[in-house]
Structure 1
Amino acid sequence: MDGILPVYKPSGMTSADVVSKLRYLLQMRRIGHSGTLDPSVDGVLPIALGSATKAVTALMTLGKTYTGSITLGFATETEDLDGAEVARTRLEAPVADAAIDAAMAGLTGDIVQIPPMYSAVKVNGRRLYDYARHGEQVERPRRAAHIYAFTRTGAPVFHAAAGTVTFTFTATVSKGTYIRTLAVDTGKALGLPAVMSQLTRTQSGGFALADTLDLRELTRETAPAAALAHLRPIEIAYPQVPRHALTDSEWADVQNGKALALPETAPQLALMQGTTLKAVYRRAGSVYRPDVMFLANVWNGDTTNGSL
């Protein structure tokens, strides 16, 4: 079974839990996911099966869209509701819509983020969350991100008893963006502590929630058929890469890892044997050379289900 499987990850499960459950349900070892979702976050989690695990890097570069809520008035050590409170400013009145919108607009485009201490980013070979759990301080790396859109989707709600304001949002972002940090930085722009209070990933890797397979009701007997019904071909991870149909002689060269002299000029080419992706080649001077090989890929699905 080679391809991309869009899965719904419920809150309470880790991304590794999803992979582990799929390995049990499908009796496969070669399975990987394309971007971790925190345990408290639900939503779209593209899973690579078989040969598609080689396409995870490409899949992760595709944009992601989230919906969620931000609460102003307090902050936590994890930047979401899972961590201990570290700051609070009691609000005595609502925050103006225009002020919130201006703060969010200031965080669109190219930005730089400092990842949360409770994150999987490595510093000196250790995860940041490991430093945090041991109470150790370490300088966190600055990371570039691109925010394609970050907008408020509902009227802010003032909670007088708690002294907080909560509003909903949608965000479309690049690989590596921390939505928790985006929430905290929104609060900073307003001069207030803030926390991400809810998050759902609604799109990832070209998949929407409606495309996903929910594993919670599946058994060893029903899972294979359900997975095949939702499986998409590997080339969906390369939506902008032009296709090239291999001739018999070119296919023989590809199997031996040889460069190809082709008339195309695109930076990359997806080399197809019939309807099956066999390799992605990158232009190097006057020829194309191997970039990612999928020689073992066998696609037996319906090519209308996502094959571009």
Structure 2
Amino acid sequence: MNGILVIDKPKGMTSQQVVGRVKKILGVKKVGHTGTLDPDVDGVLPLCIGQATRLAEYLLDQSKAYAAELTLGYSTDTQDASGEIVERVAHVSVTEAEIRAAFDKFCGEIEQVPPAFSALKINGRRAYDLARQGERVALPPRRVTIYELAITELELDCELPRVRFRVECSKGTYVRTLCHDIGQTLGIPAHMSRLTRTRSGPFTLQMAHSLDVIGQAAAEGRIADYLLPPSVAVADFPCYVVTDRQARRVFNGLEMSFSAAGQERETGERIRLESASGQLLAIYRVVDSDGQTIRTKPEKVFNA
């Protein structure tokens, strides 16, 4: 069994627990997720099944989109609603104009310090393990990109004002840190109170299915109806269709050359090779292009 299964992850489960549940439902050993979602976060969690697990790294590199809620009035050690309160104000006074001005400052490429309670490693240990033990966690800042940041709803006439928004961002972006930092810009402690991932790479919430639906489909022998082909994970890679004779070269891990007529390919660019029937055979990388011929070498070859 090979392909991509898009799960609508429920709140209250870790991403690894979802993987374990799907392994049991499908009766397979090779299942991997493509980007951790915290237990309190729901939404799109693509799972790679079988040989498709080798495509997970490409999905990790792709952008993500979320529907989020920021609450003003107090901040927490985890920067979300699950943490311990570390700062609180008795009264919040803020205008819509001030909030919109603060949001505008976080569009584009920004510098972000990952939260102490994160899965990042420090000298081989998870940051959240160190933080839970009371150790000081100092993670270096990194550059991330916010492609879109749009306020969808404001709830300001209450004790703890809330801002609901959607965000599209690069890999490695922490939305809870974004909420915390927006609060810092406003001079008001803040935390992320809700988060739903609405898209991961090419996979959207509309494509996602609950674990109950997947379980029922598997029990009825209809799981193929929900399994997407591996090629969907790398649909943004240029596609080259090869003949059966060329496919034998591919499966032997040999270099492949293609006509460059009407196509410009950069050295290092990835392409995908498919059979005439649409089966993903391999991922190749361009090593040279002289304007007439594109020469490529294999990066990942999938079994016939």
Normalised TM-score (structure 2):
0.91
Partners of 1:59 and 1:113 lie apart in 2 by 22
Structure 1 residues 218 and 3: CA distance shift in structure 2, 3 A: closer
The 8 Å contact of residues 97 and 156 in structure 1, kept in 2 or not, is answered as no
Indicate which of 192, 207, 210 corresponds to 2:206.
Answer: 210
The 8 Å contact of residues 287 and 297 in structure 2, kept in 1 or not, is answered as yes
The 8 Å contact of residues 270 and 284 in structure 2, kept in 1 or not, is answered as yes
Q: Using the TM superposition, give the Cα deviation of residue 221 of structure 1 relative to its aligned residue in structure 2, in angstroms.
A: 7.2
Instruction: State the partner residue of 1:251.
Output: 247
Instruction: State the partner residue of 1:304.
Output: none
Indicate which of 279, 282, 288 corresponds to 1:279.
Answer: 282
Q: Which has the higher contact order (CA 8 A, sep 6+)?
A: 1
Moved more, 141-150 or 10-19: 141-150
Structure 1 residues 189 and 81: CA distance shift in structure 2, 3 A: same
Partners of 2:170 and 2:245 lie apart in 1 by 39
**Number of residue pairs the alignment of both structures matches:** 292
Partners of 1:226 and 1:82 lie apart in 2 by 38
Counterpart residue identity of residue 85, structure 1:
I
The 8 Å contact of residues 251 and 301 in structure 2, kept in 1 or not, is answered as no
The 8 Å contact of residues 61 and 171 in structure 2, kept in 1 or not, is answered as yes
Classify the secondary structure of the residue corresponding to 1:240: coil
Counterpart residue identity of residue 79, structure 1:
Q
The 8 Å contact of residues 26 and 223 in structure 1, kept in 2 or not, is answered as no
5 Å-filtered alignment, 1:1-308, equals 1-93=1-93, 95-160=94-159, 164-216=160-212, 219=215, 222-223=218-219, 225-264=221-260, 265-266=264-265, 267-274=269-276, 275-286=278-289, 287-296=295-304
Structure 1 residues 218 and 54: CA distance shift in structure 2, 3 A: closer
Q: Using the TM superposition, give the Cα deviation of residue 205 of structure 1 relative to its aligned residue in structure 2, in angstroms.
A: 2.3
The 8 Å contact of residues 213 and 227 in structure 1, kept in 2 or not, is answered as no
Q: Using the TM superposition, give the Cα deviation of residue 290 of structure 1 relative to its aligned residue in structure 2, in angstroms.
A: 0.7
Partners of 1:235 and 1:196 lie apart in 2 by 35
The 8 Å contact of residues 7 and 47 in structure 2, kept in 1 or not, is answered as yes
Q: Using the TM superposition, give the Cα deviation of residue 224 of structure 1 relative to its aligned residue in structure 2, in angstroms.
A: 6.9
Moved more, 8-17 or 234-243: 234-243
Counterpart residue identity of residue 279, structure 1:
A
Counterpart residue identity of residue 281, structure 1:
Y
Q: Using the TM superposition, give the Cα deviation of residue 62 of structure 1 relative to its aligned residue in structure 2, in angstroms.
A: 2.0
Structure 1 residues 74 and 223: CA distance shift in structure 2, 3 A: farther
Structure 1 residues 234 and 186: CA distance shift in structure 2, 3 A: same
Classify the secondary structure of the residue corresponding to 1:188: helix
Moved more, 257-266 or 99-108: 257-266
Partners of 1:7 and 1:111 lie apart in 2 by 30
Counterpart residue identity of residue 286, structure 2:
R
Classify the secondary structure of the residue corresponding to 2:176: helix
Partners of 1:210 and 1:142 lie apart in 2 by 34
Taking only the aligned residue pairs, the percentage that are identical comes to 39
The 8 Å contact of residues 116 and 138 in structure 2, kept in 1 or not, is answered as no
Q: Using the TM superposition, give the Cα deviation of residue 177 of structure 1 relative to its aligned residue in structure 2, in angstroms.
A: 0.7
Classify the secondary structure of the residue corresponding to 1:213: coil
Partners of 2:250 and 2:220 lie apart in 1 by 31
Structure 1 residues 155 and 260: CA distance shift in structure 2, 3 A: same
Counterpart residue identity of residue 272, structure 2:
A
Partners of 2:135 and 2:184 lie apart in 1 by 24
Q: Using the TM superposition, give the Cα deviation of residue 176 of structure 1 relative to its aligned residue in structure 2, in angstroms.
A: 1.0
Partners of 2:156 and 2:95 lie apart in 1 by 11
Normalised TM-score (structure 1):
0.90
Q: CA RMSD in A?
A: 1.6
> 1:144-166: CA deviations, max 9, x gaps?
21101112111233323xxx211
The 8 Å contact of residues 24 and 220 in structure 1, kept in 2 or not, is answered as no
Q: Give the unaligned 5+ runs of structure 2.
A: 290-294
Classify the secondary structure of the residue corresponding to 2:250: helix
Moved more, 249-258 or 39-48: 249-258
> 1:59-107: CA deviations, max 9, x gaps?
12222111121011100011011111001122253x1111111111111
